[in-house]
Amino acid sequence: MKRHALDVAILFVFATGVCAYVAFGVPAERALSLRIYLLFLGALLMLVVVSAVNSAAPRARRSDLTAALGERPQPAGPVPQLAKVEREVTLAIGNAYDLHTRLLPHLREIAAARLERRGQRPGPDTLGRWWELLRPDRPEPSERFAPGIPEAELRELVADLENI
C-alpha cells in the first residue's frame, strides 16, 4: 500500500477536480458526473484493498520445479568405460599379448552380437578375413611383446564389424 499512496492521492485529487468541474460547468450532467466519480472512487478503493492484501500475504517461495529447471547440469565427465577401451586399444596396438587378452574378447563379443541379430554365428564364412584373428580358440601369442595389430588394420576391422 505504501508504494501506491502517492499514486492514489494524485488520482483522487484529479478525479475530484474533474468531477467538480463537470458538476459546476454542466449542471444538467451533475448526476452522471457524480455516478462516474463514485465508480472511479470504488475502483480506486479496490486498488488500495488489493494492494494491501498483496503486501500482507506471505511471499510464495520458488517452487521445486522452477528451482530444478533453473539449475545448470554439471557437464558430463569422461565415461570410465570409454577410457578403459581407449587404453586397451592403445595397448593392443603396442603388443600381441594385450591384443589377445584385452581387446580380442571385446571384438569377439561385438562380432557375436552383431551376427546374432542377423541369425548367424561367428565363423569363417561370416567373419571372412577376420576369422583367424577373432576365432575363439586362437592360441596365445608365443612372443608377448611382439607388435600388436596395426592401427589401420584395427580401423578396417571395426568398420567391417559395423557393417555386419
For the stretch 121-151, pLDDT in tens is 888 888 888 888 888 888 988 888 899 889 9
| 81 vs 102: CA distance, rounded Å | 13
17 Rama class: left (phi>0) / alpha (psi -120 to 50) / beta: alpha
Q: What angle do CA 147, 152, 158 make, to 5 degrees?
A: 105
At 95, phi and psi to the nearest 5? -150, 160
Distance CA 65, CA 104 (A): 48
Structure-block grid coordinates of residue 97? 599379448
Alpha-carbon gap, residue 24 to 106, rounded angstroms:
99
Q: Would you say residue 88 has pLDDT above 60?
A: yes
The pLDDT, as a whole number, for residue 1 is 57
**Per-residue pLDDT averaged across 24-45, rounded?**
89
Q: And the C-alpha cell for 161?
A: 564389424
- Residue 136, C-alpha cell as written in the block: 575363439
